[in-house]
Structures are given as C-alpha cells and as structure tokens.
A = this chain, B = another copy of it.
C-alpha cells in the first residue's frame, strides 16, 4: 500500500456535493505527491466537465458513474436496503475490491457507518466501528474515542480502542509513539467502574507495543496531556456534546458581550483579526475515521468547505501510505494472551486493595 495510493471519494456526499469535492480534489492534486490518485464516484454528467477544467487531473483522477445519491436524512436501514449503486456505496466498495486504499465521504454519517460495516466487515470481535473525534488542544489534537458507536464497553473493547486510536494518531499526525490515556473520574475514593480498572490493569501489565500513561480526566481532552484518550461510546458521546455545548455557549456569550455597546463594539472591531484566528483555532479538524473495519473509511464533516475536504484527502493519503492496519493487527494479536493473563489477577485485585469499602456498589 505504500506505492501509488488511490483515494476513493463519494463525490456527491455532504451538504455541498461536487461543488466542494471537485475544488478539494483540485487542491489535493496540487498539494499531494504525484503518485496519489483519486477515484471519484458520482454523476458523471456533472463531474466530468468540472474535472476536465483541471489539467493536473489527467492520469490521476478517474470518474466512476453512480446512479444514486444517499440523502443526508436517510435512515441507516433505508440506506442499506436501497444504497447499492450509490456514490457512497461504490466509494466504500472500491476499498473492499482493492481498487483504493481509503474511502472518503462527507455524506450521512449513520448511512456511511452502516454501509462500511456491511461491505468491509469488522476486524476482531468489534460490533461497530469506533467513532473518533479529533479535539483541538493548545498543543495540537487529541484523538478521542469512542464518541458514540459502542455504548456498552468491557475492558477488552476499551483496549481495542487504545490499539486502534494509537495507530490512527500516528498515521494522521506523524507522532512516533502517541501517549494514551484512559478516561476516568478523579476523586480519590472512587477510581472508576470495573471496566476501566480492568482495562488499566491489562494495559499496564504491558505486552502491547503502546505508550500507555494511565488514567486521565475529562479536562485532559482539551489539555493535550496525552495524544489519545479512550472511553466507552456513552461517556465519549456525552462528553463531546457537552464540550461542543460549552464552546457554542461561550462564543455566543462573547459575541453578545462584544456587541453590547459603543466601546466594546469598537474594541471587537479592532480585535477582529485575533478573534478570527481564535475561531479557526477552535474548529475541530474536519475529518474523522471509522476505526475497526477491514479497510479505511474517513468521514468528513457534512458542511466541510473545499479547504476542509482537501485536508481530509491529505489525511487519507497519509493513512493509505502508513502501516496503520498492520500495526493494529500486531497489537490486536497480543490481546487474547493479555486478557488470559489478567484473568486470575482480577480476582486477587478485587478482594484486595481495589475493593475499596468507600466505593459505591
């Protein structure tokens, strides 16, 4: 996969479809190495004339006609029944067929997840792909997962997230040994529920090729104290949405504070450049992967503009040229032994120090 990566693109997906995807591909043609090629799925009558305007596309862009587009509000079950032959379906299928190394879509998230799972199947015994949220921090980006796909997670599941999130962070952000933290509560008497404590014990026991740092707390997600933060899909989804809510509330309050009258408004005008930089800084990166599939799928934010989508294509190319899948497999293979080894220790731990009488239940 390190030679001539092909990126398979759902050219009709997202709020803006080809009007964003084609300019994004044009940017990517200029910015990415010559060996990176693009396979565009969608309405040929629309795509062909637009792509023809970009001379750099010759030999690097292939258009594959798709009859159908999956709507942004279609239910996943409906997308599964009626999605065959759509631009999204075909974009994912090209990965299964080995024609492309990564599929990219700004379409309907639920549909993309259902279709990806059906076509590519899950690795290991995961039920659903983990959803990753890239969260901005003062130092860069935290890879935060799972943010909503897997509601109930045992220790094994949490460790799988750590393995996959670590490999993704390295591939997407070029950090050799990303630091991993396991999300937990902070008060001293309570060190979390059984699942996180068991996952922590197994990760600590080693055996994996991971830079595991132990427990982290909710505010570490935006602090950048570690690179990858792992949690179950319930907690991750709630935390992510709560964080989005705060960001929205603060920027709303700030806007009304700065437009509240004469001096403040004048001040806001003068500070406009700084405030714009601030807003850009707060925007989360536009692309996030589905982790745990036999193949790479990258979800781009539905409202992404051409710059965002081009950025996602760069991530796709980086992933396609990385050892991502092999690294995950290598650590996944160590999991059964690590779990088996931890099993007897679990009983000992529970009757000893871990069974804190102060703990609830």
Chain A residues near B (Cβ < 8 Å): 75-77, 110, 127-128, 136-138, 148-152, 183-190, 192-193, 217-223, 231, 233-235, 237-254, 257-258, 260-261, 263-264, 266-275, 277-278, 281-282, 358-361
What is the distance, in angstroms, from A189's C-beta to the closest C-beta of chain B? 6
Q: How far is the CB of A316 from chain B (nearest CB, A)?
A: 24
Whole-angstrom CA separation of A187 from B147 in the bound complex: 10
Report chain B residues within 8 Å CB of A217. 237-238, 241
Residues of B within 8 A of A257 (CB): 271, 274-275, 277-278, 281
Ordered by A's residue number, 21 sampled pairs between the chains whose C-beta atoms are within 8 Å are A128-B360, A137-B249, A151-B185, A151-B190, A151-B192, A151-B193, A152-B193, A185-B234, A218-B238, A223-B249, A235-B239, A238-B238, A238-B239, A240-B242, A242-B243, A243-B243, A246-B246, A257-B278, A267-B271, A268-B271, A271-B271
Q: Which 10 A-B pairs have the closest CB atoms?
A: A218-B241, A267-B270, A267-B271, A219-B245, A264-B274, A218-B242, A257-B274, A257-B278, A185-B237, A222-B245
User: Could you say which residues of chain B place their CB within 8 Å of the CB of A359?
Assistant: 151
Residues of B contacting A241 in the complex (Cβ-Cβ under 8 angstroms): 186, 217-219
Residues on B with C-beta less than 8 A from A75 are: 188
Residue in B closest to A224 when the chains form the complex, CB atoms: B249
Q: Is the CB of B237 within 8 A of A219?
A: no
Please tell me if the beta carbons of B271 and A244 are within 8 angstroms of each other in the complex: no
| Residues from chain B with Cβ under 8 Å of A270 in the complex | 263-264, 266-267, 270
Known: A190-B148, A263-B273, A271-B271. A252 touches B219 (CB 8 A): no
